[in-house]
Amino acid sequence: MRDMSRQKVFNLIGLAARARKITTGEELVLGAIRNGSARVVVLSNDASANTADKMKNKCSHYGIPLHEFGSRCELGHAIGKEARVVVAITDSGFAKKLSSLLREQEEE
């Protein structure tokens, strides 16, 4: 069951990417957080401490939900790119569904 729900999260991120409703890369995501277009941020479990702290602080300051999930390779693979450390979802529908899936993952 756990692998299925993990896959659902990656599938949803991939769907959002194909719909062009994501921003990736540290600087672009920070920009999306600042300008209010980021709805939820997904940070890889293997992000550097510096990047993780920066994202957590910005998300906390701007009131944007942040979830740590998957490795950089898994996140990159989900969106059809090279490894990605951080992804921001910019669509509220995708963000709402993703947040609920990620909360389920965290509870397991």
Record the pTM.
0.93
CATH number for the domain including 80? 3.30.1330.30
- Rounded Cα distance, 74 and 81, in Å: 10
Structural domain including 84 reads: 2-107
| Interval 14-48: pLDDT, tens | 999 999 999 999 999 999 999 999 999 999 999 99
54 is written with which tokens? 């920066």
Domain count, the chain: 1
| Interval 71-85: pLDDT, tens | 999 999 999 999 999
Contact partners, residue 46, CB within 8 Å, separation at least 6: 71, 72, 85
